[in-house]
Amino acid sequence: MFWPRFASVEVMADLEFGRGFEEMHEQMSGYKRMRREHQAHLVKLEEKCKVDMEAHKTALDKEYDTLLHNFTRDLDRLETKHQQDVERRAKQTSAAEKKLHKEITLKQENDRKVYDLNRKKEYKANKERWKRELSMDESTPKRQRDLTLQSQKDNLKQHEAQEEQRMLQAQKQYIELEMRKFKRKRMIMQHEHEDQQLRDELEKKEQQLQQAHAMLLKHHEKTQELEYRQQKSVHQLREEQINKQHDTELHNQEDYMERIKKELERKHAVELRQQPKSLKQKELQIRKQFRETCKTQTKQYKRYKAQVLQTTPKEQQKEVIKQLKEEKHRKLTLLGEQYEQSIADMFQSQSYKLDESQVIECHRTHDQLEYELEMLTAYQNKNKKQAQEQRDRERRELENRVSVRRGLLENKMDAELQQFNQERAERLRMKHEKHTKELEAFDNESIALGFSTLSLIEVSREAYADEEGSLSGSMISLAHSNSSTSFPAGSL
C-alpha cells in the first residue's frame, strides 16, 4: 500500500490498527463459521450413524424373528409327523392283532378238524377191535357182551369229551397268552418309538438352540463391527476437523506475523523518511532559541554599557566601549558555537537513537511473535493430546461395552443351554417313568388274568412281523390226543 510522505507515524499506526482489528474480526468470524460447519457435519454424521444402527438392529431382529418362526414351523411339522406315525402304528398294531388272532384261530380250527377226524377213525377202529375181542369170548352171554361193548363205548366217548374240553381250554389259554405276548411286545415297541420320537424332538430343539445361539453371536459380531466402524468415522471426522482448524490457525498466525513484520518495516521506513523533517524542525527551534538569547544578551549589554559609561570618565569611554564590543562579540561567538555544537550533537544522537530503537523494536516484535507462535503450537498440541485421550477413552468405553454385552450374551446362552439340558433330562425321566408304570400295570393285569411274567417274556412260538411287515403263519401245530394213548393196552 502507498503511504503519503507527509503522513505521520501516529496516523499510520491508527490506520494499521483499524485494518488489524478488521482482519482479527474477520478471522474470529471465520473461526465461528468453521466451528458451526464442523458441528453441523458432526451432528449429521452422528445422526446418520444412529439411523444406520436402528436399521441394522431392525434387520437383525427381523432375521432372528424369522428364524424363531421357522423353528416353530419345523417343530409343528415334526409334531404332526410324530402324531401321524402314532396313528399309523396304532392302526398297524390293531390290524396285526386282528390278523394274529385270526391266524391262530384258523390254525386251531384246523387242528380241531384233524382231531375230530382222527378221533372218529380211532373210535371206529376201537369199536371193531372190541367187537372182535368180545365175539371170541363165547362163554359170555351175548347180552353181557353187548353191555360190555356199550360200556366201552360210553367210556371212550366220555374220555374223548374230556380230551376235547382240555384241548379247547388249552387253545383258549394259548391264544390268550399269545395275544398278551403280542400286546406286551407291541407296547415295548411303542415305548421305544415314543422314546425315539422324544429324542428326535429334543435333538431338533438342541439344533435349533445352537442355531439361535450361532445367529446371536453372528449378530453380536456384526453389531460390534458396525459400532467400531461408526466410531472410527466419527473420530476420523473430528481429527480432520481439528487438523483443519489448526492448519487455519497456523496459516492465520503466519499471515499475522508476516503482516506485523511488514508493518514494522513500513513504520521504520516512514520514520527514516520523516527523520530529516523532524531534525530540521528541532534545528529551527534551536536557532530560534539562539536568536532570542542573542536579543536578550544585546539588551543586557546595552544596559550594562549605559551603567559603565555613567561611572567612566569621558576620555576613557571610547576605550571602554571598544572593550565592551569585543567582549560582546566574543560571548556571542562562543554562544553561537555552543548552539551549533548542540545542533550537531542533536543530529548525531537522534540518528543513533532511531537506529537503536528500531533494532530493539524488531527484536522485541520478533520475540513476541515467536512467543505467540510457541503458545499457539503448545495450545494445539495440548488440544490434540486431549482429543486423542478422549478418542482413546471412548474407544476403551466401547470395547468395555462390547465385552460386557458379549459376556451377558454368553451367560444367557449358557443359562438357556443349562435349562434345556435340565428340561431334557426331566422329560426323559418322566417318559421312562410313564413307560415303566404302563408296563407294570400291564404285567399286573396279566397276572390277574392268570399269566405269569415269565410266560409273557419268553420267546413266542408265533412269528411276529414288525409294524411294517405282515405276520407269517404259525410254525407249530397244536398237540392233540390219540385214543391209543388215551387208553392203556389191555384195559379191556
Q: How many CB atoms lie within 10 A of CB 100?
A: 22
Q: How confident is the model at residue 165 (pLDDT cuts 50, 70, 90)?
A: confident
Q: Which has more confidence, 479 or 407?
A: 407
Residue 301: pLDDT over 50: yes
The residues, any chain, with a CB within 8 Å of residue 415's CB and separated by 6 or more, are none
Burial call 323-342: b when 16+ CB within 10 Å, e when fewer: ebeeebeeebeeeeeebeee
Q: Which has more confidence, 52 or 154?
A: 52
- Name the CA radius of gyration of the chain, rounded: 69
Residue 90: pLDDT over 60: yes
Q: What is the pLDDT of residue 121?
A: 84
Q: How far is it, in rounded angstroms, from Cα 490 to Cα 22? A: 156
Per the prediction, the chain carries an average pLDDT of 80
Q: How confident is the model at residue 139 (pLDDT cuts 50, 70, 90)?
A: low
Q: How far apart, in Å, are the Cα atoms of 154 and each of 150, 160, 330? A: 6, 10, 209
Using CB atoms within 10 Å of the CB of residue 347, give its burial: 0 to 12 exposed, 13 to 18 middle, 19+ buried.
middle
Q: How far is it, in rounded angstroms, from Cα 339 to Cα 320? A: 28
Q: What is the pLDDT of residue 277?
A: 56
Q: Which has more confidence, 135 or 238?
A: 238
Sole residue written with cell 415269565: 454
Average pLDDT over residues 293-310: 76
Q: How confident is the model at residue 433 (pLDDT cuts 50, 70, 90)?
A: very high
Q: How confident is the model at residue 338 (pLDDT cuts 50, 70, 90)?
A: confident
Q: How far is it, in rounded angstroms, from Cα 278 to Cα 385? A: 54
Q: How confident is the model at residue 438 (pLDDT cuts 50, 70, 90)?
A: very high
Q: Are 452 and 173 in contact (CB under 8 A)?
A: no
Q: What is the pLDDT of residue 21?
A: 59
Q: How confident is the model at residue 474 (pLDDT cuts 50, 70, 90)?
A: very low
Rounded (5°) CA angle 110-111-115: 115
pLDDT digits (tens, 9 = 90+) for 354-400: 567 777 888 898 899 999 999 999 999 999 999 999 999 999 999 99
Domain-by-domain residue ranges, the chain? 17-449
- Top mean pLDDT of 164-168, 278-282, 339-343 is at 164-168
Q: What is the pLDDT of residue 460?
A: 64
Q: What is the pLDDT of residue 77?
A: 95
Name the residue among 113, 369, 344 with its Cα closest to residue 258.
369
Using CB atoms within 10 Å of the CB of residue 295, give its burial: 0 to 12 exposed, 13 to 18 middle, 19+ buried.
exposed
Q: How confident is the model at residue 276 (pLDDT cuts 50, 70, 90)?
A: low
- Amino acid found at 421: N
Residue 89: pLDDT over 80: yes
Within a 13 Å sphere around the CA of 279, how many CA atoms are in the beta-carbon half?
19
Q: Are 220 and 406 in contact (CB under 8 A)?
A: yes
Name the residue among 463, 482, 456, 480 with its Cα closest to residue 104.
463
Q: What is the pLDDT of residue 231?
A: 95
Q: How far is it, in rounded angstroms, from Cα 131 to Cα 146? A: 9
Q: What is the pLDDT of residue 465?
A: 55
* Least confident interval from 116-125, 196-205, 295-304: 295-304
Q: What is the pLDDT of residue 484?
A: 33
Q: Are 263 and 18 in contact (CB under 8 A)?
A: no
Average pLDDT over residues 116-125: 81
pLDDT digits (tens, 9 = 90+) for 207-229: 999 999 999 999 999 999 999 99
Average pLDDT over residues 84-93: 92
The pTM for the full model equals 0.64
Q: Are 250 and 381 in contact (CB under 8 A)?
A: no
Listed as own residue / partner, the contacts of 454-460 with beta carbons closer than 8 Å and 24 or more positions apart are: 455/177, 456/177, 456/180, 456/181, 456/184, 457/184, 460/178, 460/181, 460/182, 460/185
Q: What is the pLDDT of residue 478?
A: 34
Average pLDDT over residues 451-462: 71
Residue 411: pLDDT over 80: yes
Rounded (5°) CA angle 190-192-195: 110
Residue 12: pLDDT over 50: no
